Chain A
Amino acid sequence: MVFGILQFPGSCDERDALAACERVADARLIWHEETDLDGVDAVVVPGGFSYGDYLRAGAIARFAPAMEAVARFATEGGPVLGICNGFQVLCEAGLLPGALLPNEALRFHFRQAGLEVAGGCDWTAGIDPGERLSIPTKHMSGRFFAPDDELDRLEANGQVVLRYASGSNPNGSLRDIAGVANEAGNVMGLMPHPEHAVDALTGSTDGLRLFAAVASRSPAAA
Chain B
Amino acid sequence: MVELEAASADDLPDLCEKLLANPLIEDYEILELSA
Binding site for B on A (CB under 8 A): 55-56, 59-60, 63, 92, 98-99, 101, 145-147
Contact = CB atoms under 8 A, between A and B. Distances in A.
B20 A101 contact: no
A127 B12 CA distance: 46
A59 B20 CA distance: 8
Interface in B1-35: 19-20, 22, 24-26
Contacts of B26: 56
Interface of B: 19-20, 22, 24-26
Contacts of B19: 55, 59-60, 63
A56 B24 contact: no
Contacts of A147: 24
B24 A99 contact: yes
8 contacts: A55-B20, A59-B22, A92-B22, A98-B24, A99-B22, A99-B24, A101-B25, A145-B24
B22 A145 contact: no
A92 B26 CA distance: 13
A63 B20 CA distance: 13
B25 A145 contact: yes
A55 B4 CA distance: 14
Contact of B22 (A56, A60, A63): A56
Contacts of A98: 24
Contacts of B25: 99, 101, 145
Contacts of A101: 25
Nearest to A58: B22
A60 B18 CA distance: 10
A63 B18 CA distance: 10
Contacts of A55: 19-20
A60 B20 CA distance: 9
A56 B24 CA distance: 13
Contacts of B22: 56, 59, 92, 99
